[in-house]
Chains A and B, each alone.
Chain A
Amino acid sequence: MNLHEYQAKRLFAEHGVPIPNGEVAHTPAEAREIAERLGGVIVKAQVHTGGRGKAGGVKLGRTPAEAEAAAAAILGMDIKGYTVGKVLLDELAPGIEQEIYLAVLIDRANRRPMIMASAAGGMDIEQVAEETPEKIIKVHIEPSLGVRSYQSTYVASRMGLPKELWRDFHKLLTGLYSCFNANDASLTEINPLVITGEGKLLAVDGKMTIDDNALFRLEKVAAMRDVAEEPDAERQAREAGINFIKLDGNIGCMVNGAGLAMTTMDVTKLFGGEPANFLDIGGGAQAEQVAAALRIILSDPNVKAVLINIFGGITRGDEVAKGIVAALGQVETEVPMVVRLAGTNAEEGMAILADAEMETAVTLSDAAQKAVKLAQGDN
């Protein structure tokens, strides 16, 4: 789960990471009020995507009137497919001497949390990593030891940070790691961490991704979920226990298992089709889940054909078939479908579907080719 910048920074602050004073506004009038209290501010779109600055989603508000105008311009703006519903107004940093990149994330390959830092902050770190990888400093954290002082010193020294700031930098980095740990983050990122005109460190941007698997023990963070940021279909899927990601094509896919679901998309594309979604109904799905999945797929007006590919193991073919029949009883649809059931109780499932007037297929290739044809309308 991704957090908004203002949510991430508030969590940072709880762990001693210095952030600017700031408040969130939902209307231009509210923005004006806040600016009257705070003075000169920067107005920032709160959406789950980066590069807001470049997209026009970060504007100066030196006066309350300017802040109001900036908020009016940003609210409702579309940034990479996300509509801006709120803005953060942060006090302006008292001058910016330098912009630094600092993050704590999980390094899968080494199975450790890792500090990633660069004196070339503010920019897209992927680009820095590509063009000048030597400018990126990486240090692993041993969970039982935490961030040791010598590690902070190493990062600070390699970045050429002024010596006077090393102690503060260690405190900040320790705080960032403790925030990462306490909230089961997979990423905590400050880009940029600035050195202000007064020579102090200040986290002016913040990004945080939380491990969904840990939300059960993170009541406060779980409540930060912004359902407005989540497309309707993805929310419905999450609530039904289905893994769903909308894509741009016209062939709806329903599959059991993540690997097979990805493969079904790949093979569809191999035969010239475009998948409309990734959908994994999970292991041991019951009829209700299958019905919910089919409803979600059919709610996408781009879908011209549906490809159902189930390899039964824990999931049973007859349960899937019952779900399909139930869903077809609930939703009117003209969309043609291809079903391929294999594995546990596949024959029983096919028997249940015999009356449903669906195309059937024996192999995945066969199913994908039929779905591609149906989507093109020449059936």
Chain B
Amino acid sequence: MSILIDKNTRVVVSGITGREGSFHTRQMIEYGTNVVAGVTPGKGGQIFEAGDQKIPVFNTIQEAVESTNPNASMIIVPARFAVDAIYEAADAGIPFITCLTEYIPVLDMIEARAYLDAKGARLLGPNCPGLLTPGEAKIGFIPGSVAMPGPVGVVSKSGTLTYEVIDALTRLGIGQTTCVGIGGDPINGTDFIDVLKLFEADPDTEHIVMIGEIGGNAEEKAAAFIKEHVTKPVTSFIAGRTAPPGRRMGHAGAIVEGKSGTAEGKIEALRAAGVPVADNPDDIAKIVAERMGK
């Protein structure tokens, strides 16, 4: 089993004809993802070819929904069109929306998130690498080559750091149920707790790896949640112990402001919740292996 996506998930891609969009859609299809439609305003009626597959392109998601019945969407369009694409997907009734696009203004996300909550739609991202269920399907950037099926659920704020950790797990022969990148923006959709709940409920997930970073208090909230509600073992890593306060470390959300958002605070909260926190990402896989008795 897996969470959020599997090989039956029917994906519509907003921005399928763009440079990035077409490249990653082809990678997703090659991996086995069931991409059923693409959307690019003005290019409705075109056919997007990927290998021997022919994917219909529509002007709007609504039209894609009317004829191809998708149940997940991926948004990979420039920042100034991305918020509109989020509203469009939610309005068309797509229940699970992944937005990869980076650089969306925070105030726009505050309003979009409120709208999504009212609609009951789930958003992953923005500014995230997406998610991957090994051997089944992926939405987004996570390279399929580093993952393999198995019992560990991975959830992370980061992109490449996550690939690093998945790769290390795989090299030790420890596979994954699903790997989820929630992104590092200050206001996003799905957060750690949402994913922890899903992993806790997923019968195939035996162990959870959670990778956080400085900024905000999502890790602290997750720690409190783990203490109360997660029965499965969780192993963690927090990036940014050496980050100077007051400087934004790349991600719009990665900033230590005064005493809030520090790595120390997060590590302390996690350890207090019984979660081992690795000092070095190279150790995460080893700790997981040990705790799983491998």
Contacts and interface: CB of A to CB of B under 8 A. Distances in A.
Chain A bound to chain B: yes
Interface of A: 106, 108-109, 111-113, 126, 129-130, 143-144, 181, 184, 186, 211-214, 216-217, 243, 245, 247, 255-263, 265-270, 275, 278, 280, 283-284, 311-315, 342-344, 363-365
Contact of B239 (A130, A266, A269): A266
Given A144-B114, A313-B160, A365-B282, 5 more contacts: A109-B217, A313-B163, A314-B20, A364-B164, A364-B281
Interface stretch (B30-38, B198-206, B242-250): B242-250
Interface in B248-262: 249-254, 258-259
Contacts of B110: 106, 111-113, 143
Q: How large is the interface on B (under 10, 10 to 19, 20 to 34, 35 or more residues)?
A: 35 or more
A343 B114 CA distance: 37
A262 B249 contact: yes
A29 B236 CA distance: 59
B129 interface: yes
Contact of B141 (A184, A260, A278, A283): A283
Which residue of B156, B213, B243 has the most chain A CB atoms within 10 A of its CB atom? B243
A73 B253 CA distance: 38
Interface of A is mostly: mixed
A212 B214 CA distance: 19
A262 B103 contact: no
Contacts, number: 173
B107 A342 contact: no
B163 A266 contact: no
B164 A260 contact: yes
B142 interface: yes
A130 B259 contact: yes
B197 to A, nearest CB: 18
B250 A284 contact: no
Contacts of B49: none
B43 interface: no
Contact of A344 (B20, B143, B244, B282): B143
B266 interface: no
Nearest to B105: A214
Contacts of A129: 258
